[in-house]
Amino acid sequence: MLIETKKSKFESLVRGYSGELYRYAYWLCRERFLAEDLVQETFTRAWQSWDGLRDDKAAKSWLYTILRNEHARLFERKRIEIDETQELDEVVDSGSMSAYESFEMRDAIEALPKSYREPLLLQVLGGFSCSEIAGTMSISEGAVMTRLTRARLALRKLTGRAIERKEKVR
Amino acid sequence: MTRCAKCAALAREVEDFDARIHDAAMVPVPEALADRVLLRHKVREPARFGGFGFGVWALAASLIIALGAVIQLYRADSGNEERVATSAAVGEGHAAIAAISYVLDHEPQLLKDNVSGDPAVMKSALTRLGLNLPARGTTVRYLGKCPVPSGEGEHLVLQTPFGQVTLILVPEQSLGPRVVVAYRDRTAVVNPLRSGSYIVVTDSFKNVKQIEKMLM
């Protein structure tokens, strides 16, 4: 009975969250096969440490945290480190030319440094609050708010430049 | 906010911008991803413990693992003597040759199309053949059907620590005696089991052996 309950809850989690976890994984590694591997590994780890999940309501942020750590473990060989020194101007100036092409918003998100991109995606894809993002990323809530604001500003600048460029071409 | 036209316009603009970010972040999810995740777990789902204590089952499992290790060692020793046949030796119509041709000629497109078959059917085929798909280190890239000399087989493409591997399951049908064949830069093994056959196609004889160890 317990095993059946565990299996059925696990299946619900897989069906409920594999899609959004894949998207988050994709934005972490930007390679679709690796992203799928990450999702598979995340659920394998989740199954193995199921007993560590005490509150069903926390399942979603638990899965995101597992995925984030798996990404660090498998593809970076270290915990994700945030580059605190990178400034907004550097972000905009270092944007690749592809940011000015037709999928400018997607390219602009890619051009963001990890420290801005990650909290933004946790908010946009996962719907997490600043406090939940702070918990997942092990940073303060204030730092999350700052990064979210800066991420949006950077995206505005990047996509604004794409529009300016298009208008010049016309 | 609603009374001030400028504030309302600004709020709308912020909402639109956030919607654009959201839309851009929503990259397409591969078809049947959840099914593939569940397949890896279902083929290894834990047996019921029944009325016995866990210790008894743990002891039984240890004995089975030890026995399995002895069998694997025996197989590894005898495997070194196994010969790899050529297409001329087995004939162009052999299941191993057909499998390699199918893998090289059709699999890239199947992977590109990213359409997957029914994991329940695949699970049933694995179970009937007594094969085991490890949950860790192996990702199912594709599930589907493929032609085999006697009809249809279950076609799996796996990403493993030994590279990309094709596994074709043919339950309840014999494809003849065990044979390892090298053809067009690929090596395939056709292996009969009590309740059917399987074919493994990969890039080397060494990897064929590794995959077989992994599946047993």
Express each pLDDT in A91-144 by its tens digit: 444 444 333 443 678 888 988 998 999 999 999 999 999 999 999 888 999 999
Among B23, B41, B159, beta carbon nearest to A47: B41
Same domain flag for A109 and A164:
yes
CA distances from residue A7 to A36, A106, B12 in whole angstroms, order as listed: 21, 37, 44
HSE at residue A126, side-chain half, CA atoms within 13 A, is 27
Compute the nearest-CA separation of B126 from chain A (Å): 19
Considering the domain architecture, whether residues A23 and A71 belong to the same structural domain is answered as yes
A22/B contact by beta carbon, under 8 A = yes
* Pick from B18, B25, B37: CB nearest A125: B25
pLDDT at A156 over 50: yes
Does the structure's ipTM exceed the value 0.90? no
Q: Is domain B85-215 annotated with CATH 3.30.200.100? A: yes
Looking at the structure, do residues A70 and A129 belong to the same domain, yes or no? no
Domain for residue A81, yes or no? no
At residue B145 the predicted structure's pLDDT band, cuts being 50, 70 and 90, is confident
Neighbouring C-beta atoms of residue A141, cutoff 10 Å: 14
Predicted confidence at residue A65, as pLDDT, reads 92
Question: Cα-Cα-Cα-Cα dihedral of B78, B165, A42, A134, to 10°?
Answer: 130
Chain A 105-134, CB below 8 Å of chain B: which residues?
A: 105-106, 108-109, 120-121, 124-125
Quick one: A108 and A63 in the same domain?
no
In a domain, A154, yes or no: yes
Residues A93 and A45 in one domain: no
- Helix axis angle, A114-124 to A2-29, nearest 10°: 140
Provide, as residue numbers in chain B, all residues whose Cβ is less than 8 Å from the Cβ of A3. 46, 48
A70 and A132 co-located in one domain:
no
Over residues B147-173, mean pLDDT: 84
CATH number at residue A58: 1.10.1740.10
Q: How does residue B24 score in pLDDT terms, banded at 50, 70 and 90? A: confident
* Strands B196-202 and B163-171, bridge-based pairing: antiparallel
Q: Per mean pLDDT, which of A1-15, A104-118, B44-58, B137-151 is the most reliable?
A: A104-118
Q: Spell out which chain B residues touch chain A, with contact meaning CB-CB distance below 8 angstroms.
A: 17-18, 20-27, 29-30, 33-34, 36-38, 40-41, 45-46, 48, 135-136, 139, 141, 159
Beta-carbon contacts of B100 under 8 Å, excluding residues fewer than 6 positions away, are B181, B183, B184, B186, B188, B201
Distance between CA A105 and CA B179 in Å, rounded? Answer: 54
> How far is it, in rounded angstroms, from Cα A24 to Cα A64?
8
The mean-pLDDT minimum among A58-62, A100-104, A118-122, B99-103 falls in: A100-104
For the cut 80, the answer to whether the pLDDT of residue A4 exceeds it is no
pLDDT of amino acid A19: 94
Phi, psi dihedrals of residue A48, rounded to the nearest 5°? -65, -35
pLDDT at A63 exceeding the cut of 80: yes
Q: Where are the domains of chain B?
A: 85-215
> Is residue A82 domain-resident?
no
Rounded to a whole number of angstroms, the distance from the CA of B113 to the nearest CA of chain A is: 14
**How many CB atoms lie under 10 A from the CB of residue B205?**
18
Structural domain for A42, as ranges: 2-76
Q: What is the pLDDT of residue A162?
A: 52
Residue A124 lies in a domain: yes
| Same-domain pairing of A109 and A69 | no
The predicted structure's pLDDT at residue A2: 59
Count of domains forming chain A: 2
Q: Alpha-carbon distance B211 to B216, whole Å? A: 9
Please list every residue in chain A whose beta carbon sits closer than 8 Å to the beta carbon of residue B136.
41, 44
Q: How high is the mean pLDDT of chain A?
A: 79
Residue A14 forms contact with B (CB below 8 Å): yes
pLDDT of B19 strictly over 80: yes
Give me the pLDDT at residue A130, please.
94
pLDDT tens for each residue of B43-60: 555 444 444 445 555 666
Which of A41-45, A103-107, B201-205 shows the lowest mean pLDDT across its residues? A103-107
Mean pLDDT in residue range A136-159: 91
Q: Bigger pLDDT: B37 or A74?
A: B37
Min distance B24 CA to chain A CA atoms (Å): 5
Q: Residue A165: what pLDDT?
A: 55
Residue of A nearest to B46 (CA): A3
Last residue of a domain, one of A15, A41, A76: A76
Task: Give the whole-angstrom CA distance, residue A150 versus residue A148.
Answer: 5
- Interface probe for B, chosen from A4, A10, A18 (most Cβ of B below 10 Å), is A18
CATH code where residue A137 lies: 1.10.10.10
- CA distance readout (Å), B151 to B98, B102, B121: 12, 14, 16
pLDDT at res. B50: 42
Q: What is the largest CA-CA distance in chain A?
A: 67
Residues A107 and A46 in one domain: no
Taking an 8 Å cut-off on Cβ atoms, the answer to whether A103 and B24 are in contact is yes
Which residue, A76, A100, A122, sits at the end of a domain? A76
| Residue B80 to chain A, least CA–CA distance (Å) | 33
Q: How far is B79 from chain A (nearest CA, A)?
A: 31
Say what the pLDDT of residue B57 is. 59
User: What is the C-alpha to C-alpha distance for residues B2 and B10, in angstroms, rounded to an integer?
Assistant: 11
Q: How do strand B179-183 and strand B84-85 relate by DSSP bridges?
A: parallel
Query: Which of residues A41, A76, A111 is at a domain's end?
Result: A76
* Residue A115 covered by a domain: yes
In a domain, residue A108? The reply is yes
A92 and A161 in a single domain? The answer is yes
Is residue A25 over pLDDT 80?
yes
A109: which chain B residues are within 8 Å (Cβ-Cβ)?
Answer: 21, 24-25
Check residue B45 and give its pLDDT. 54
User: Is A64 in the same domain as A133?
Assistant: no
Please tell me if residue A62 touches chain B, with a CB cutoff of 8 Å.
no
Pick from B10-24, B44-58, B153-167: least confident: B44-58
Measured between CA atoms, the residue of chain A closest to residue B159 is A37
Q: Please tell me if residue A79 touches chain B, with a CB cutoff of 8 Å.
A: no
Residues A9 and A43 in one domain: yes
Contact B21 A39 (CB under 8 A): no
Instruction: Look at A55 and A79; give whichever has higher pLDDT.
Output: A55
The answer as to whether A66 is a domain residue is: yes
Q: What is the mean pLDDT of residues B60-72?
A: 69
A95 and A165 share a domain? yes
Q: Give the H or E element holding residue B169.
A: strand B163-171
Neighbouring residues of B58: CB distance < 8 A, sequence distance ≥ 6: none
Average per-residue pLDDT for chain B = 79
Most confidently predicted of A118-122, A161-165, B119-123, B125-129: A118-122
Chain B nearest C-alpha distance from A118 (Å): 11
* pLDDT above 60 for A169: no
